[in-house]
Structure 1
Amino acid sequence: MTRRYVLTGAPGAGKTTIAAALRRRGHVVVAEAATDVIGQTPQLEADSAAFLDRIVAVQRERQLAATGALQVFDRSPVCTLALAAYLGVAPPRDLAREAERIARERTYERRVLFVRLMGFITLTAARRISLAESERFERIHAEVYRDLGYELVDVPPAPLEHRVARVAEVIAAA
């Protein structure tokens, strides 16, 4: 049976850095979709429904293509639901269907690795959010996961090696 863990948190929390360190340790890590969608089709950002549906389509493609008995995902469709809530829009049809599918199939482990903000934001071409907005997103994000019955396992602010060790400890314990 495949175990799929979600590594999540607000923009700028350090998820991608942790994911890269896990990959270097030999773990199967599935890359975040939203950053790639922004880079490949920036025009979609103007259309929330199309943007969210494209993100969830890429997430589904990557989930179905991933191999290995243990997989770590840099975000999941639940994160895309949280993004819809953050944007103040109803989840579009494809996102709602994918959320129903992953709940029905129990696609992801119920314990979710929730990477907490470090207290600063490094802006990038895809990350154009203030620390205050990222903190707001973090609260919404946690609420959406909890409302869907997931258990959040905190990955607190700390040096990278401590955060990676925390994640490795959780995924090895199952």
Structure 2
Amino acid sequence: MPGYILTGAPGSGKTALLRHLEIDGYPVVEEAATDVIALDQALGRPEPWREPDFADRVLDLQRRRRRRADVHAGLVVFHDRSPVCTLALCRHLGMTPPPALLAEVERMATDRRYERTVFFVRNQGFVEATAARRMSFEESLVFERVHELTYREAGFDLVDVPAGALPTRVAAIKRAVDRLRLPGERRR
């Protein structure tokens, strides 16, 4: 079951896009890092991304969620981020990526669980701070560039999803998927 990844800078609107696609009937796989952060913060760890095992815990949750998505074989599935995003986060934070993460990113190039085409959701011109998202707009632009470079280095083709109204962005993603899918393949 190949899946399409949606990625981009924090606050770019990925979650709203995923919610819209989900309501339109597409299976979605939720982002892992934000949930790991939320749980850790609820347990009294205010900055879990600074802990040495953070990337491993994110990767573990990403793997489990991807495996649960296998029940949607043959359908177009959208993933909110991927292990490549976790590698980009490690790079952005100056952390050494764990060996399991590097192996997973390398495996992504050969196992075809993810489509080679990734939807790169561009920033909307601002970032709203949350408990898990503590960066300025300027920092998010740097992070956006790190994401882009990391995906390109990993061999993925990026399709820009420019800033704009949510329905326009969703329609652009659907049109691109329709062009990428082979004739006769199931859309949902």
TM-score range, shorter chain: over 0.9
Whichever of the two has the greater Rg, that structure is 2
The whole-number CA distance in structure 2 between the counterparts of 1:104 and 1:91 is 20
Q: Which residue of 2 aligns with 1:56?
A: 59
RMSD: 1.1
Report deviation, 1:62: 0.5
Structure 2 letter corresponding to 1:16: T
Once the two structures are superposed, residues 14-58 of structure 1 have per-residue CA deviations (whole angstroms, 9 ceiling, x without a partner) of: 0001000000100001111111000112333331x3111111111
Structure 1 letter corresponding to 2:116: R
Q: Which residue of 1 aligns with 2:95?
A: 89
Superposition TM-score, scaled by structure 2 size? 0.88
For 1:123, which of 122, 129, 150 is the aligned residue? 129
Structure 2 letter corresponding to 1:93: P
Q: How does 1:144-163 map to 2 (within 5 A)?
A: 144-163=150-169
Count of aligned pairs? 172
The whole-number CA distance in structure 2 between the counterparts of 1:45 and 1:139 is 19
SS in 2 for 1:26: coil
Structure 2 letter corresponding to 1:170: A
The whole-number CA distance in structure 2 between the counterparts of 1:37 and 1:58 is 8
Superposition TM-score, scaled by structure 1 size? 0.94
Q: Which residue of 1 aligns with 2:175?
A: 169
Structure 2 letter corresponding to 1:153: V
Residue identity over aligned pairs, in percent, reads: 47
Report deviation, 1:122: 1.1
Q: CA separation of 1:89/1:46 partners in 2, compared to 1, >3 Å: closer, same or farther?
A: closer
Once the two structures are superposed, residues 115-154 of structure 1 have per-residue CA deviations (whole angstroms, 9 ceiling, x without a partner) of: 0000011111111110000000000100011111111100
Structure 2 letter corresponding to 1:51: F
Structure 1 letter corresponding to 2:56: D
Q: Which residue of 1 aligns with 2:185?
A: none
Q: Which residue of 2 aligns with 1:5?
A: 4
Structure 2 portions without partners, runs of 5+: 182-188
Structure 2 letter corresponding to 1:50: D
The whole-number CA distance in structure 1 between the counterparts of 2:61 and 2:30 is 10
The whole-number CA distance in structure 2 between the counterparts of 1:45 and 1:150 is 25
Once the two structures are superposed, residues 43-83 of structure 1 have per-residue CA deviations (whole angstroms, 9 ceiling, x without a partner) of: 33331x31111111111100011032221000000111111
